[in-house]
């Protein structure tokens, strides 16, 4: 009975890791679609988000069922509660990748990204892909040290985001208001994507150490705190 239970908990972790792969792939492909103005690729990202949503629903049902049937305590209980939260974070990352793909779709056959910002967006896409893959490894290995490193990757994303805003608002933006709106939203989507990876890291730290740090989420939120603080 307990063996079957722990196999189920392992399966939950596996499903979370699979979701991180899907989210990473989605954001990588969305970034390519955006930079290459590739509408087929954008559409494939938009369509594939349903798969991430379905995984999340499946995982949440499984977690709820485990709570009801197994009445877990201590670490097992933390695993399940944390999994429900992480599934929500990763599902949201999938949504944000879809938002990026929708901007690509909206501007087709043009690219929404002006030439001088392509490099910054490319880097944001790479940081996004990397940070969610790291979040997956952290989940798989319950690796507290790597979980803490996720914050540094998020700092890199914040720097890129700041750079993006500086370009848009430095007074010499030549691309018009619509392009400024696109870049503002894109910056926010990538930034929020990384925030959710940080959140996954915090949850794994809590899972392993049992230390509930009420400030962690809020203080991180202060650091990322919307784009105004970044400008």
Contact between 177 and its own copies by CB under 8 A: the answer reads: yes
Rounded distance between C-alpha atoms, residue 140 and residue 126, angstroms: 21
Contact between 47 and its own copies by CB under 8 A: the answer reads: no
> Which residues contact residue 12 at a Cβ distance below 8 angstroms, ignoring those fewer than 6 apart?
59, 62, 63, 66, 79, 80, 83
In whole angstroms, how close is the CB of 211 to its own copies at the nearest point?
Answer: 12
Figure out which of the listed residues 47, 50, 110, 166 binds its own copies, where binding follows CB under 8 A: 50
Figure out which of the listed residues 1, 68, 109, 145 binds its own copies, where binding follows CB under 8 A: 68
In whole angstroms, how close is the CB of 205 to its own copies at the nearest point?
Answer: 15
Figure out which of the listed residues 54, 75, 116, 119 binds its own copies, where binding follows CB under 8 A: 54
Rounded distance between C-alpha atoms, residue 201 and residue 143, angstroms: 9
Smaller CB distance to its own copies: residue 88 or 137?
88
What's the CA angle centered on 223, arms 56 and 120, to 5 degrees? 80
Contact 7/104 with Cβ under 8 angstroms? no
Token representation of residue 74: 């201590």
Instruction: Convert residues 91-130 into a mask of x (bound to its own copies by CB under 8 A) and - (unbound).
Output: x---x--xx--xx-xx------------------------
- Tokens 């499984």 map to which residue? 62
- Alpha carbon 208 to its chain centroid, in Å, reads 21
Helices and strands per DSSP (H, E), number in the chain: 8, 0
* E strand map for 182-221: none
Smaller CB distance to its own copies: residue 52 or 133?
52
The residues binding its own copies (CB under 8 A) are 49-50, 53-54, 57-58, 60-61, 64, 67-68, 71, 73-74, 77, 81, 84-85, 88, 91, 95, 98-99, 102-103, 105-106, 165, 168-169, 171, 173, 177-178, 180-182, 184-185, 188-189, 212, 214, 217-218, 221, 225-229, 231
């Amino acid at each position: 009975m307990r063996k079957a239970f722990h196999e189920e908990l392992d399966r939950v972790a596996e499903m979370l890791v699979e979701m991180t792969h899907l989210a990473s792939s989605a954001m990588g492909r969305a970034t390519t679609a955006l930079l290459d103005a590739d509408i087929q690729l954008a559409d494939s990202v938009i369509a594939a988000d349903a798969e991430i949503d379905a995984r999340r629903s499946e995982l949440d049902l499984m977690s709820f069922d485990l709570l009801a049937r197994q009445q877990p305590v201590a670490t097992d209980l933390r695993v399940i509660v944390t999994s429900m939260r992480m599934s929500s974070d990763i599902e949201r990352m999938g949504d944000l990748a879809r938002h990026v793909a929708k901007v690509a779709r909206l501007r087709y056959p043009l690219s929404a990204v002006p030439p001088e910002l392509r490099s910054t967006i490319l880097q944001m896409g790479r940081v996004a892909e990397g940070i969610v893959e790291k979040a997956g490894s952290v989940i798989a290995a319950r690796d507290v040290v790597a979980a803490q490193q996720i914050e540094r990757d998020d700092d890199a994303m914040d720097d890129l985001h700041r750079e993006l805003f500086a370009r848009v608002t430095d007074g010499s933006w030549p691309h018009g208001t619509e392009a400024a709106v696109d870049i503002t939203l894109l910056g926010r989507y990538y930034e929020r994507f990384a925030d959710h990876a940080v959140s996954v890291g915090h949850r794994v730290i809590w899972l392993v150490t049992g230390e509930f740090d009420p400030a962690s989420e809020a203080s991180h939120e202060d650091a990322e705190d919307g784009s105004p603080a970044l400008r």
